[in-house]
Amino acid sequence: MAGLRTLAFVLAVGFLLVILSCALYHNWWPLFVVATYVLAPLPNALSARCAGGDDLMSDYHNGAVDAGEFITGIFIVTGFCLPLVLAHAEVITIPAMVMSIIGGILVYGTIIAYTHFFANEGEDF
Amino acid sequence: MPNYLSEGRRSIFLFKIPNPFKFLGDKQRAIGVYAAGAFFAIGWWAFIDAITLASRDPFKQVSIGFEDWISGILTTLGMIVINLIDKSSLHGDTFSYSGDSLVWKARLFLFVGFALIAGGLAGSVCVLILKYIVPEVPESELYYGIGQVAQCGFIMLSTVILWIAQNTQEEYQYNFML
């Protein structure tokens, strides 16, 4: 249980960093990466659901699962590339970009840690 | 003496080359697909970075035109063509009533897909040389040309990784096709 609370705290700190990177510099462009954080796990989850794998093989891979993972990979990299491109074009400052990217690492790390360690805890069989 | 892998599949190489990514275990296909998606996104974001910089520079000598976009579009189109092919129809494994007319069609589309990707990459290098290197544009504007070459290179890398990840099916994994 302590692990789950730490995870929620880290997730909140991640989002806080992204919002701070916008608010401290009065430039709300980095908020678009929050949209990618929300959208990123969706194709993966949708395609894993629709792929039709049963309980015997939890690792069932067909074309739909591959497509979902591919699009999820695109969203994850977009979450990191958008602040980079914005900072390179000098729309946002370099500290704002660094804060956005660190926030992104925290949020994605939380999502990955949750799905690996905590998502299957409810199963008792 | 033909070279047999497990499951009776013949190898075309004289020496059996072991899969270098086996250390990842059973997750290697998923990691390969994620990496392919990541490289695809990196390629397009490199290009978007280049054209963003170009649009914010009012004093530049070169202007971004359709020729900068076309190589990226062709390469992406080639990637889509390659990934829409049903891999099993390339081997001729599927049982079909009309003979084996599907194999050469699948291989033809595979060739078209690879030709599109290679053409896009070659075209992007062409644009870089003719539009950016020969007129000797300043360093900051050379980046626009390098960005679109990097785009095509990364998309090609993504296609290769996706193909390898999907086709080196581990022998112990069974695919139940519904």
> In 10 A of CB B43, how many CB atoms?
26
Which residue did the predictor score with more confidence, B8 or A50?
A50
pLDDT value at position B70?
94
Is the pLDDT at A123 greater than 60, yes or no? no
Between A68 and B4, the more confident residue is A68
Q: Which domain holds residue B144?
A: 36-170
Q: Which value, in Å, is the radius of gyration of the alpha carbons in chain B?
A: 20
Q: Where are the domains of chain A?
A: 2-52+60-118
pTM as predicted: 0.84
Residue B119, in any domain of the structure: yes
CA–CA separation, A84 and A8 (whole Å): 26
CA atoms within 13 A on the CB side of B66: 0
Residues of B in contact with A59 (CB under 8 A): 26, 173
- Burial profile A69-105: b = 16 or more Cβ within 10 angstroms, e = fewer: bbbbbbbbbbbbbbbebbbbbebbeeebbebbbebbe
Long-range contacts of A18-27 (CB under 8 A, 24+ apart): A18/A99, A18/A100, A18/A103, A18/A104, A18/A107, A20/A99, A21/A83, A21/A92, A21/A95, A21/A96, A21/A97, A21/A99, A21/A100, A21/A103, A22/A96, A24/A96, A25/A92, A25/A93, A25/A95, A25/A96, A27/A91, A27/A92, A27/A93, A27/A96
Q: Give the separation between CA A28 and CA A49, rounded to whole angstroms.
A: 35
CB contact under 8 A, B175 and A70: no
Q: Is A42 on the interface with B (CB under 8 A)?
A: no
Taking the mean position of all CA atoms in its chain, how far away is CA B65?
A: 24
| Residue B53 to residue A89, Cβ atoms within 8 A | yes
Global ipTM: 0.86
Task: Please count the structural domains in chain B.
Answer: 1
Name the maximum alpha-carbon separation found in chain A: 54
Confidence category of residue B100, pLDDT binned at 50, 70, 90: low
Closest Cα in chain A, distance from residue B53 (Å): 6
In-domain check, residue B15: no
* Partners of residue A69 in chain B, C-beta under 8 Å: 30, 33-34, 37
Secondary structure (3-state) at B97? coil
Which residues from chain A sit within 8 angstroms of residue B51, using beta carbons? Answer: none
Per-residue pLDDT band at B9 (split at 50, 70, 90)? low
Give the amino acid at A106: L
Question: Measured between alpha carbons, how far is A109 from B45 in angstroms, rounded to an integer?
Answer: 22
Tokens 């296909």 appear where? Answer: B29
Do residues A114 and A7 lie in contact, with contact meaning Cβ atoms separated by under 8 Å?
Answer: yes
**Cβ–Cβ under 8 Å, residues B99 and B110:** no
- Residue B60 has a pLDDT of 84
- The answer to whether the CB atoms of B40 and A73 lie below 8 A apart is yes
* Region for residue A93 given its phi and psi (left: phi exceeds 0; alpha: psi -120 to 50; beta: otherwise): beta
- Find the radius of gyration of the CA atoms of chain A: 17
Contact A74 B38 (CB under 8 A): yes
Q: Nearest CA to B32 among B157, B156, B164, B153?
A: B164
User: Which residues are B10's β-sheet partners?
Assistant: B4
Point out the residue among B38, B173, B177 whose CB comes nearest to the CB of A77. Answer: B38
Give the type of residue at A44: N
Instruction: State whether A76 and B40 contact (CB < 8 Å).
Output: no
Predicted confidence (pLDDT) at residue A60 exceeds the cutoff of 80: no
Q: Which of A109-118, B18-27, B71-80, B158-167 is the least confident region?
A: B18-27
B153 located within any domain: yes
Structure confidence at residue B59 as a pLDDT band (50, 70, 90): confident
Report, as an integer, the average pLDDT of A1-27. 89
- Does a structural domain hold residue B152? yes
Q: Does residue B8 sit within a domain?
A: no
Taking the CA of residue B11 and the nearest CA in chain A, the distance in Å comes to 24
